[in-house]
Amino acid sequence: MPTDPIERLLRGLYSVALYLLAPITVYHLIWRGLRQPAYFQRWQERYALYGDRPPMRTLWVHAVSVGEVNAAVPLVNALRRARPDLRLLVTTITPTGSERVHAAWGDAVEHVYVPYDLPGAVARFLAHFRPHAALIMETELWPSLLFGCRDHGIPAVILNARLSERSLRGYRVLAPLVARALRTVRTVAAQSHADGERFIRLGARPEQVLEVGNLKFDVAVPDHLAEFAAQCRRCAGARPVWIAASTHEDEEPAVIAIHRRLRAQFPDLLLLWAPRHPERFRIVADAARAAGWSVSTRSRQQWPGAGDAVFVVDTLGELMSFYACADVAFVGGSLQAIGGHNLLEPAATGTAIVTGPHLHNFVEIAQRLEDAGALRVVPDADGVRGALAELLADAQARERMTTAGRALVETGRGALARTMELLQPLLPAPAGQ
């Protein structure tokens, strides 16, 4: 238990505030459930109420949503290969993250939602799953969770750790508490030197922080990628293809407008459209039909037909494969202040990349890709249209971009090996040793 009186005071105030606000979590789940029905399910996990389920010893990986789960895929796969004797628990916050976990590993790993940061819920969660270690992906700094790990003797590490200037400012209100919670962590394995410096500014001790690199560079290209892309091309016919990937609601009208103008220049152009959130799958398909286009979907038709103008990728876990089917990719979350999404996946599959200007979650990666000539960053939707039009018309420019992107991904690999080496002292000895 903490002996620092300031820590006790701060934790007490934080806990009282959270318990007073706890009823709002119910309203939040209802509000989200009206848009995504999966939020109506499994509420007991969000309060760490597990009924008669027997407690189990696990190695715990926490990943907020789809992006963090994707970053964790190489790590979890490596842990499964190296230590098949360990039971793995992967937690998320969002149902989309839960679906991605299931798509990646099925029943091979345990999944529950991480509980709200209420001290009682955290204590029940840790007592039930009894983690050997807490492997927290990227930027999840929940004070009760981190303090709880320390109080239960569970070593916690932050892996693939990133912290933007924007996020750093966001922690300002709780900085005294978050700084103390951060100092309970065994190691902050930062993606870059700049990320590590920001964690130190937030309160981490310099000796806690290691620059390990970005696990996203260790992305595994799907098996049989060439065969997948060839099958898609055979069904769609020989014509230009672009993909709008990980788009958000406010970007959808722009995608419709861009595709309409591009088809005036390339009449047989096909759009592969992969919205970020599953609740948007049907909505974007309906919007494309309302625009007057023939639309097919992955879940129904499997492949785009020769007469389709739009093909909606309404499945999870296949985005990288569909990147390989496109000549050019627009990566969403970048025309509105979301902060962008993973740019290394299209680079690894050999697709030219265009984004909008909002890339604060991927500043370093975007800069490296842009400097290498593998990425075009434009200021607005009209800039996206112009860049796509130029690249669709210029196969040599696309080839230069894809060659540069693949080379950058290859040179950036290595964070996975360094992370696995870092984790070795935290893992229990194999059974029988």
Model confidence pLDDT, tens digit, residues 199-216: 999 999 999 999 999 999
Average pLDDT over residues 336-355: 95
- Please name the amino acid found at residue 415: A
Average pLDDT over residues 32-50: 91
Average pLDDT over residues 162-181: 91
How far is the C-alpha of 74 from the C-alpha of 66, rounded, in Å? 14
pTM, two decimals, is 0.86
* Residue 276 near residue 248 (C-beta atoms within 8 A): yes
| Per-residue pLDDT band at 387 (split at 50, 70, 90) | very high
* Residue 113 near residue 98 (C-beta atoms within 8 A): yes
Q: Is the pLDDT of residue 2 over 60?
A: no
279 part of the active site: no
| Per-residue pLDDT band at 246 (split at 50, 70, 90) | very high
Given this model, what pLDDT does residue 430 score?
Answer: 81
| Per-residue pLDDT band at 35 (split at 50, 70, 90) | confident
Given this model, what pLDDT does residue 433 score?
Answer: 58
* Residue 377 near residue 370 (C-beta atoms within 8 A): yes
Given this model, what pLDDT does residue 172 score?
Answer: 84
Residue 112 tokens read as 């529950």
Average pLDDT over residues 409-428: 94
Q: Is the pLDDT of residue 51 over 90?
A: no
pLDDT tens profile 106-148: 999 999 999 999 999 999 999 999 999 999 999 889 999 999 9
* Residue 267 near residue 236 (C-beta atoms within 8 A): no
Given this model, what pLDDT does residue 56 score?
Answer: 81
Annotated active-site residue in 68, 138, 251, 345: 68
Distances in Å between the Cα of 274 and the Cα atoms of 89, 168, 245 are 28, 30, 5
Average pLDDT, the chain: 93
Average pLDDT over residues 179-187: 96
Task: Specify the 3-state DSSP secondary structure of 317.
Answer: coil
Residue pointed to by tokens 């962008």: 340
Given this model, what pLDDT does residue 55 score?
Answer: 77
* Residue 258 near residue 385 (C-beta atoms within 8 A): yes
Q: Is the pLDDT of residue 394 over 70?
A: yes
What percentage of the chain exceeds 70 in pLDDT?
Answer: 99
Close Cβ partners of 293 (under 8 Å, ≥ 6 residues apart): 259, 308, 309, 310
Given this model, what pLDDT does residue 219 score?
Answer: 86
Given this model, what pLDDT does residue 296 score?
Answer: 97
